[in-house]
Amino acid sequence: SGRWIKAMEIVKQFEEKCGTPISKLRQVADAMTVEMHAGLASEGGSKLKMLISYVDNLPTGNEKGLFYALDLGGTNFRVLRVQLGGKDSGIVNQQFEEVSIPPSLMTGTSDALFDYIAAELAKFVSREGTDFQLTPGRQRELGFTFSFPVMQSSIASGTLLRWTKGFSIDETVGQDVVAELTKAMERQGLDMRVSALVNDTVGTLAGGRYTNNDVIAAVILGTGSNAAYVERAQAIPKWHGLLPKSGQMVINMEWGNFRSSHLPLTEYDHALDAESLNPGEQIYEKVISGMYLGEIVRRVLCRMAEEAAFFGDTVPPKLKVPFVLRTPVMSAMHQDTSPDLKIVANKLKDILEISNTFLKMRKVIVELCDIVARRGARLSAAGILGILKKMGRDTIKEGEKQRTVIAMDGGLYEHYTEYRKSLENSLNELLGEEVSETIVVEHSNDGSGIGAALLAASHSQYL
């Protein structure tokens, strides 16, 4: 029918605009490398902030004692404690809890958010058992994983540049987030010192390095997306401090804010951005990360409903609600292997209140999910190639047996198998067979929390 033809035209046009041939991915990777140089050259030199983390040494394995970590960066936050055994003993004991953040706190006041976090942390500390041992006479110390762009002034201080991922609390911007947390802990009567403030990418890098010496970069694909890597201190022109003894500095790229004319953006992406809490910002994040993939699919479906009556004469009201179609639902539909696509049918019914679908329609919906996930996965592979190029690890040097490990974490990478497979395939395709064998993407489960605790240990006030 005319309607069906019109709907298929919308899908086809969208697919064409989302195209990521290898040549385009190479352009994106090159643009990433160029922006990395520019961001390192001067403050404000690029959309990529290339933030200095003040982490110039990664964990060695000698860290010892009881340390806490708090990980705030998305819809959930985690608290954890680890007992580190020191040389050759590794992690003797660990415990963690995950608490969801009431959405109202994400756009409320600074005190309300930090009070809530500090209260949950205090409860967790009060449940510390005898299988954890604080060295007598010491204050408890915490690594604070805070996964938003922060301009650090030391390992344990830094001001918030802006919120991302659906958080929006104006009064926090420009404030030292360690001071905010410390004040909230005091209000709770919790005696604890923040010894390290780290981005989740930096924490993941530290946690990865603790168990594998070849880890040189970390990438997060969760609600948002970001990356960190180890840079030569001499290759950071904007760094005017003393050169660290190690000669190295971990850089938090804030790659979510990358943008380039080579990114295949569609009208749906532009509309999503314009209506977001942070228009014009985090453009790369908005095409690759978990917060947005389902929303992009919803927008295309909505257009098909409005202009091609894809779901019948009226547009299903639920389909008009921003962010109703979450990425976990999208991935469940995408990966539905039942012959009649029962999962797709059920999700459409339960979440969008659409019950009149036939198999051919459900197949189109799976196809849409595939287009959006594949574009995101392939573009994140291009970003990784950009980092490898900057580090000179995208080629094999004569006579060197170099191994490169990228620590990867985040719910999107962890749970969205099709996305992960597409990312890995594209990276292999970009690198070629020989180089691919030297590069490993390793899932580092909750490495960021443990990494933050490790960095708190290596920056303890008692050292």
Cβ(122)–Cβ(192) below 8 Å: no
Binding segment (CB under 5 A) for Mg ion, from list 26-34, 222-230, 416-424, 454-462: 222-230
Q: Which two tokens stand for residue 146?
A: 């805070």
Shortest Å, Cβ 209 to ligand ADP: 19
Total residue count of the chain as it appears in this document: 463
Give dist(CA 50, CA 36) in Å, integer. 7
Closest CB 139 distance from Mg ion, rounded Å: 27
Position with the least CB separation from ligand ADP: 74
29 or 206: whose CB is closer to Mg ion? 206
- Which residue lies nearer to Mg ion by CB, 319 or 407? 407
Smallest distance from ligand ADP to CB 412, Å:
4
Which residue is it, tokens 């708090």? 70
Joined tokens for residue 73 = 């960066």
Please, what is the minimum distance in Å from the beta carbon of residue 225 to ligand ADP? Answer: 9
User: What is the rounded CA–CA span in Å between residue 421 and residue 450?
Assistant: 26
Q: Which of 83, 204 has the CB closer to ligand ADP?
A: 204
Would you say 73 or 256 has its CB closer to ligand ADP? 73
Partner interacting with residue 411 (select from ligand ADP, Mg ion, none; CB below 5-8 Å by kind): ligand ADP
CB of 76 to ligand ADP, least distance (A): 6
> With CB under 5 A as the contact rule, which of the stretches 52-60, 199-207, 241-249, 455-463 interacts with Mg ion?
199-207
Q: Kindly tell me which of 210 and 416 has the beta carbon lying closer to ligand ADP.
A: 416
What token pair was written down for 35?
A: 């922006």
CB–CB of 277/323 below 8 Å? Answer: no
By CB under 5 A, how many residues form the interface with Mg ion? 3
- The catalytic site residues sit at 147, 162, 200
Q: Judged by CB under 5 A, does residue 73 bind Mg ion? A: yes
Smallest separation, CB 354 to ligand ADP (Å): 21
Residues 6+ apart with CB under 8 A from 44: none
Nearer to ligand ADP, 83 or 147 (CB): 147
Compute, in degrees rounded to 10, the torsion defined by CA atoms 23, 27, 30, 34: 170
CA atoms within 13 A on the CB side of 318: 13
Residue 75 partner contact from Mg ion, ligand ADP, none using kind-dependent CB cut-offs of 5 to 8 Å: ligand ADP
Q: Which residues bind ligand ADP (CB under 6 A)?
A: 73-76, 222-223, 290-291, 327-328, 331, 410-412, 415-416
* Nearer of residues 226 and 438 to ligand ADP, judged by Cβ: 226
Q: How far is the CB of 425 from ligand ADP (least distance, A)?
A: 18
Binding site for Mg ion (CB under 5 A): 73, 200, 222
